[in-house]
Structure 1
């Protein structure tokens, strides 16, 4: 019998939430895409946007080209919306305080967006779910706690509950709503239940998570509590519990409450939970429960380890919730039942085949965008859609967005580089410089100050797809991880060691310097910058290093104080004479952002540089590879008038950055030509801090054929 092709998911498009703003509206205002749902025909998605207090509507009839349908003001904070027929049912939090929670369930027309009705819920709504047959909706009334009061400890009254409302021909039976009591069930905070998430199975049974109470409740089709049980504890090893700028997975946590957030039925007897956990380390995984409370599967540390291997581990959350599984979705694609696990802080989606609920199989990791909060599967249209809540527009970063993925039998396009398969668990990220080894496809990369407590050199095998990080070498000084480094460039020294360029920042006491390390990463020598350079220092220093015979060349990222406008330096250092020199490099005209260099590599008769702006998404204008003839690299003495090199554009990198159908990232930071003449490019994911965590890695083909 021929093998069944495995379903894969590849990104189709990204939709930025500001695109839903009306003409003339201030697009700089913070927005969000939080919980997302879809119309029954799968052509429209609706997401909650609490910063704007609106519901956002998007037409995905053509999923590769989403069309904005505008925002609808909710006069409160929308939490979750579900759609039955041509009616949208949305929970709206109207609370003025934690002690006096209030909220409504509002009904909108899907086409006109008119608000048709409102039901008072008596408390603060969180999750809303619809029955499969559209006959009723259930609402989790969380009445959430004040996390700044008594360290967020329970109880904090009033208690939460679940509301069940009948739906007939699109109309809610507000007067006939039933309030299902959750008090007295949990071992933790029994008198203060906080229902977090609800889901309804085909039999009309409701499963409810009480996250802060670490409890799960099953409500029968008759509206009465049928069963309830503790979500239990997990023990975790080989994890990182310290926010210290180091990727060290040698810690352990014992008896950690799962504290599940989202929950979804898999079948009549099983449901899956995303275990967000709380702030004391976090449970970091997901679980499949039998309806009687039996745990039939728990991911333990395996989901987080997969995120680590993909370069998406958020070290700044190590002391809190780690990768923080937040949402979960269940759907069957091409006959195979899937569970999709959303890592909010890792900005990644784990795709699992749950044909055997006792042994789920991780088949793929998807780059969801920044801080995914919601997810909806549309198997009838072969689509998966995520809502990503973080809006970094105020800092010049990516805006909140919706991302669409297509189910296909084509190869997965992501990840493009991974440490999966290495002999030990290798955490990595913030790849900021690239260099070639002696063999085809052998590359080396360095990480920057995002992991400053553990600066590292990574060995990459680019002959595999995806490329594999096979080893990590920590840069050390006297045997301990070297501090005060911001590595941005790497070049083999020809003797098994490396030359490393560190971008200094004097206001952070990080020196601008060149370091020589041996094959074990131990620093053998340090070369500080001369006063002729430091006298004109600007924080943006060396962003690449290359070796030409006995001379090192370093690219300075941006203009220093003595540079003419629109020019930066390529600085040289003669290893024999210890003399410094430089040439001037003319930058492309600056647009809305700044222009600068982020890499230098030498191959044959050419020096290659990456030139880029610092802009993201549609605003990005210049991300390109240029080359300069080595004959132009005739350095003048520092302080003298520098000769200006000629440059030639080799490749526009923006189409490469668009190939994943996401937004264009800003930091293209590494380039190298390997021993076979193949060019390779890598992006810096900022250590998954205010970033999607995506690392893009690709080949620019045979670079010597054009020489």
Structure 2
């Protein structure tokens, strides 16, 4: 039966938790490890690698992760937690699906299936220090999750025998059926001749003849909880006897206030009833366990649920977890039509006498941290993660949490897959650096892809931002209160044309006009029928004037257009991102449009040189007798070189006619953003896109999180002091 609709009390709890800035105890990211650093010498760096399931040694100094695409186990030395060291890879003759550590033995499930109808695999035991194979147990099917009992006496393996999603639209049954294997362990050695096969057929209402066990975990009584994701079912098994102690449906959830349509806008007014279809599961204590309701075939409840092993639901998160994600700007709009933020992984651990529950959102690339209360868990914070966190492991004896983030965007020249480490301490929460509030009816303000920044001319700390074409059907001006930490988005003003959301815009720049309205710069893409141009909006967001780029300029167009706008007297200045066809390769235009004479002009701005990729402009803002310009390359991670703020004196801004020889301005370096971009110990992001100076002369900068699409979703917001 569906649970009741999300209670108002949970909403109040969520609002109160969101307002918390500093906790007595909190987690912060302290280091990141790129999986490519573990590739063997001589391996091409373009080779895909992906840390998926991760485990830690008993002393907490060694991490081991499964790397499915490379068919290997990866080792990381974290003796110095702030400087993880590559420990190398152990190649396997198959695809590792999971890994666990018991004592000095590493256990891995390895898939060797020829096809969906001929599944096969084995359980491998490997010496943690020696890395020699100790034993190999034939499992007779395709393994998924592997877990070791707390006393080291048993290993449990979920034999999924996964379905072919392209066959009959993925419907069950698709035999052979899966089961759970329990392997006794003696002195670190699996006793392959004594393994037990626990039949899971006939339990679930959905696909009873074709159970697909997904995840297993032990409590201290050597009871195994197992999720049957596609079957939307849960079971408890006694490891010693192989007896099924209990089983029950995972049930469904009624969800209100969710985005249910992929349409390039954020609309949290939808409702759905969804099967939970849990993925990961972890015991909280001997009687309670928590599931992440990722969904698969027909479900995905976007949250997590705490069950008693007798089948009672003790807590249902409903939409509260996803709402925290929305407030932090991490909501993955492209997944709205499917399963939203997709909670997939779960970890549980005790820190400083308190039990914490960690919920990993695969699509939002964040980890929700909750404090167990025995009843309703208390939301503590969101942690920024790498792209698509798949699993996490707790190391309480070292006050550490570690996540494995599987997405490797090598084909898209994007971020690589990472392992990330978080420390538990009394330090202030470092992330998020900017969040939103809720509307008067309690709906969180959705936001993302912030691309331009401006300041209120009269109110210190009052800023405005725009989003870019990732939200093409919802162009928006956001009001930001930067007088608090984190900075807070307090309102969202839609950009309108004739009373409707304005179409064919790619807003990259915004400038306050000093009269309550704004000038907006839209980057054009002629091939997609998006014109280059400047638009003025009134205080209600309605476009009341449009200025098109002149034909003399457009005949030299490339797709990298307007990236910032500022106002100096009666002149609008627009930063073009990259050189167009009529520009020298190392110079880009600053366009000038005089509002009284309706005339165009330009100057040239000199660009930095880099060894990889390109360099362009992201922002321009006037303050005093200077204009400040963000210049950046398109590289991220270790390849990033130029993320800088320059200034140009306004007396150099003497535009010449477009088509004539343009004067070249001289620039002065003001600030290097690379240290800021490294300050949260993740990978360096490429898109630092917004900058402004407020009424008190303080500088602020913001990054563009690309709408959480092939991105970690992190938005960094910097204060760089007096200008």
Instruction: Classify the TM-score, shorter chain.
Output: over 0.9
What does 1:468-479 align with in structure 2 at a 5 Å threshold? 468-479=488-499
The Cα shift of 1:421 comes to 5.2
- Say if 2:619 is the partner of 1:602: no
CA deviation vs aligned residue, 1:308-340 (integer Å, no higher than 9, x gap) = 110000000001110000000111111111100
**2:687–2:703 Cα contact (<8 Å) kept:** yes
**1:365–1:415 Cα contact (<8 Å) kept:** yes
- Say if 2:281 is the partner of 1:263: yes
Compare 37-46 and 218-227 and name the one that shifted more. Answer: 218-227
What does 1:480-495 align with in structure 2 at a 5 Å threshold? 480-495=500-515
- Looking at structure 2, the residues matched to 106 and 181 of structure 1 have their Cα atoms a distance apart, in angstroms, of 22
Partner of 1:369: 386
- Looking at structure 1, the residues matched to 34 and 132 of structure 2 have their Cα atoms a distance apart, in angstroms, of 24
- Looking at structure 2, the residues matched to 444 and 280 of structure 1 have their Cα atoms a distance apart, in angstroms, of 41
**Please, what is the CA RMSD of the aligned residues?**
1.0
How many pairs were matched up? 698
Q: Of 404, 410, 417, which aligns to 2:421?
A: 404
- Say if 2:665 is the partner of 1:645: yes
> Any gaps of 5 or more consecutive residues in structure 2?
1-21
Partner of 2:517: 497
- Looking at structure 2, the residues matched to 361 and 455 of structure 1 have their Cα atoms a distance apart, in angstroms, of 35
Q: Of 459, 465, 469, which aligns to 1:439?
A: 459
CA deviation vs aligned residue, 1:560-600 (integer Å, no higher than 9, x gap) = 00001200000010011000000000001132010000000
**2:230–2:297 Cα contact (<8 Å) kept:** no
Q: Of 220, 243, 248, which aligns to 1:229?
A: 248
- Looking at structure 2, the residues matched to 35 and 654 of structure 1 have their Cα atoms a distance apart, in angstroms, of 31
> Any gaps of 5 or more consecutive residues in structure 1?
none
CA deviation vs aligned residue, 1:285-330 (integer Å, no higher than 9, x gap) = 1000011111110000110011011000000000111000000011
**2:403–2:419 Cα contact (<8 Å) kept:** yes
The Cα shift of 1:520 comes to 1.2
CA deviation vs aligned residue, 1:224-277 (integer Å, no higher than 9, x gap) = 0000000001000110011110011111102x1100100000011100000001
Partner of 2:12: none
Q: Of 275, 278, 299, which aligns to 2:296?
A: 278
Partner of 1:168: 186
The Cα shift of 1:91 comes to 0.2
- Looking at structure 1, the residues matched to 496 and 117 of structure 2 have their Cα atoms a distance apart, in angstroms, of 53
- Say if 2:482 is the partner of 1:462: yes
Compare 413-422 and 441-450 and name the one that shifted more. Answer: 413-422
- Say if 2:268 is the partner of 1:249: yes
**2:610–2:641 Cα contact (<8 Å) kept:** no
- Looking at structure 2, the residues matched to 652 and 492 of structure 1 have their Cα atoms a distance apart, in angstroms, of 26
TM-score between the two structures when normalised by the length of structure 1:
0.98
**1:487–1:501 Cα contact (<8 Å) kept:** yes
Partner of 1:416: 433
Partner of 1:674: 694
What does 1:480-559 align with in structure 2 at a 5 Å threshold? 480-559=500-579
Partner of 2:599: 579
Partner of 2:203: 185
- Looking at structure 1, the residues matched to 298 and 446 of structure 2 have their Cα atoms a distance apart, in angstroms, of 22
- Looking at structure 2, the residues matched to 76 and 165 of structure 1 have their Cα atoms a distance apart, in angstroms, of 20
- Looking at structure 2, the residues matched to 278 and 445 of structure 1 have their Cα atoms a distance apart, in angstroms, of 37
**2:23–2:429 Cα contact (<8 Å) kept:** no
The Cα shift of 1:280 comes to 4.8
- Looking at structure 1, the residues matched to 436 and 119 of structure 2 have their Cα atoms a distance apart, in angstroms, of 47
What does 1:17-96 align with in structure 2 at a 5 Å threshold? 17-96=35-114
Partner of 2:468: 448
**2:495–2:542 Cα contact (<8 Å) kept:** yes
The Cα shift of 1:220 comes to 2.0
Secondary structure of 1:35's partner? Answer: strand
**1:145–1:152 Cα contact (<8 Å) kept:** yes
**2:322–2:341 Cα contact (<8 Å) kept:** yes
- Looking at structure 2, the residues matched to 215 and 281 of structure 1 have their Cα atoms a distance apart, in angstroms, of 12
The Cα shift of 1:383 comes to 0.4
What does 1:351-362 align with in structure 2 at a 5 Å threshold? 351-356=369-374, 358-362=375-379
- Looking at structure 2, the residues matched to 363 and 632 of structure 1 have their Cα atoms a distance apart, in angstroms, of 51
CA change 1:281–1:192 in 2 (3 A) is closer
- Looking at structure 2, the residues matched to 28 and 544 of structure 1 have their Cα atoms a distance apart, in angstroms, of 34
- Looking at structure 2, the residues matched to 296 and 52 of structure 1 have their Cα atoms a distance apart, in angstroms, of 40
The Cα shift of 1:281 comes to 6.3
Partner of 2:233: 215
- Looking at structure 2, the residues matched to 207 and 348 of structure 1 have their Cα atoms a distance apart, in angstroms, of 25
Partner of 2:16: none
Partner of 2:410: 393
- Looking at structure 1, the residues matched to 191 and 602 of structure 2 have their Cα atoms a distance apart, in angstroms, of 77
- Looking at structure 2, the residues matched to 207 and 476 of structure 1 have their Cα atoms a distance apart, in angstroms, of 53
- Looking at structure 1, the residues matched to 215 and 25 of structure 2 have their Cα atoms a distance apart, in angstroms, of 28
- Looking at structure 2, the residues matched to 191 and 474 of structure 1 have their Cα atoms a distance apart, in angstroms, of 52
The Cα shift of 1:24 comes to 1.2
CA deviation vs aligned residue, 1:433-477 (integer Å, no higher than 9, x gap) = 000013111000000011111111100000010000000011111
**2:277–2:299 Cα contact (<8 Å) kept:** no
**2:275–2:298 Cα contact (<8 Å) kept:** no
The Cα shift of 1:85 comes to 1.6
**1:280–1:321 Cα contact (<8 Å) kept:** no
Secondary structure of 2:194's partner? Answer: coil
What does 1:583-662 align with in structure 2 at a 5 Å threshold? 583-662=603-682
**1:279–1:320 Cα contact (<8 Å) kept:** no
